Amino acid sequence: MKAPEGLPNSSKKFCLLKKSLYGLKQASRQWFAKLVSELLSQGFSQSKNDYSLFIRDQQNSFTAVAVYVDDILITGNDQSVISTLKTHLHQVFSIKDLGKLHYFLGIEIGYLPNGIALTQQKFTKDLLQSSKVDISKPAVTPLPQNLKLHQDEGELYSKPSYYRKMVGKLNFLTHTRPDLAYTVQHLSQFMQTPRLPHINALHHTLRYVARASGQGILIQGSDKLTLQAFSDSDWASCPNSRRSITGYILLLGGSPIAWKSKKQSTVSKSSSEAEYRAMSSAASEVAWVVRLLAELQIHSL
């Protein structure tokens, strides 16, 4: 930091920063450290499995706080604790209470008789408008059947930034659309030099998204919160590197809570090896979810 102009002998003076200013590299870290200290002072403990999750479990009172930068979700079974926490945070940070959760980080939350629906309808609508793709003929599959995209086949696309922007937005859409996980993983491989076959596949995916713009996931209540995991692999499916694709999904009480589609880091010599690698990835996710659920007082899985 430089001394302000007009200060005598400014080359020999230094500025002492008493408050972390917005825009500095350390500002976000200082903000989170301040928020953590305030939550700890209210009896919360920081999760060991997700550092943005804070838990307060005392006798029959349970409260959880999820933090994303300066957006905070608070839930629990003791309304008095929640009210006290919001009052304290308002005194320290002057927060705005938006009431019951309906919209968070681009995800719309709907309350139904049989559960909670998570969708991204508004984001999907904006995505389709910005893509300027003709959606009058919606597609029924995320990608054309039996499609194999190659890295160096086809003419180079003239607007690679458009391709990268659309794939990036589709990647955000996978937060509530597990059916797009493999498609986005496949299209993301050609971000550096997209070609016409890649952009045609992208437009096909956008027409599929337009077919059900309000589609999302349903989180249902269940008497038995059984954790299930399913994994699969597509052996040597990449025509360029011959690496396999891993896919898995985790269900808690029949509701999806985690999923992924990813190209394996090494070449598997057999389909059995590819399956074992997929199982290993799913097992690692299960181990983490079990530890996280245990912190949320969910033990019988």
Q: What's the pLDDT at 300? A: 67
Beta strands in 145-264 (DSSP E): 217-219, 227-234, 245-252, 255-263
Are 186 and 239 members of one domain? no
User: Taking 80 as the threshold, does the pLDDT of residue 114 lie above it?
Assistant: yes
* 220, part of any domain: no
3-state helix, strand, coil in the chain (%, to 5): 35, 20, 40
Q: Which residues pair with 2 in a beta bridge?
A: none
* 107, part of any domain: no
Q: Is 167 exposed, middle or buried (CB count within 10 Å of its CB: 0-12, 13-18, 19+)?
A: buried
Are 161 and 207 members of one domain? yes
Q: What is the CATH number of the domain that holds 61?
A: 3.30.310
Q: What's the pLDDT at 216? A: 92
* 5, part of any domain: no
Q: What's the pLDDT at 174? A: 94
Are 93 and 163 members of one domain? no
pLDDT grade, residue 8 (50/70/90)? confident
CA distance linking residue 97 with residue 88, whole number of Å: 12
Distance of CA 4 to the CA centre of its chain: 43
* 200, part of any domain: yes
* 108, part of any domain: no
User: Taking 90 as the threshold, does the pLDDT of residue 28 lie above it?
Assistant: no
Are 126 and 205 members of one domain? yes
* 81, part of any domain: yes
pLDDT tens, position by position, 226-282:
999 999 999 998 888 899 999 999 999 899 999 999 999 999 999 999 999 999 999
* 12, part of any domain: no
Taken in order 148, 153, 154, 156, is the CA torsion positive or negative?
Answer: positive
Which domain, by its residues, includes 88? 20-99
Q: Out of 211, 239, 259, pick the residue that ends a domain.
A: 211
Mean pLDDT of the chain: 90
* 222, part of any domain: no
Q: How many domains does the chain have?
A: 3
Are 153 and 195 members of one domain? yes
**Against a cut of 0.95, is the pTM above it?**
no
Q: Out of 72, 99, 126, pick the residue that ends a domain.
A: 99
Least confident stretch, 81-85, 124-128, 198-202, 295-299? 295-299
User: Taking 90 as the threshold, does the pLDDT of residue 200 lie above it?
Assistant: yes
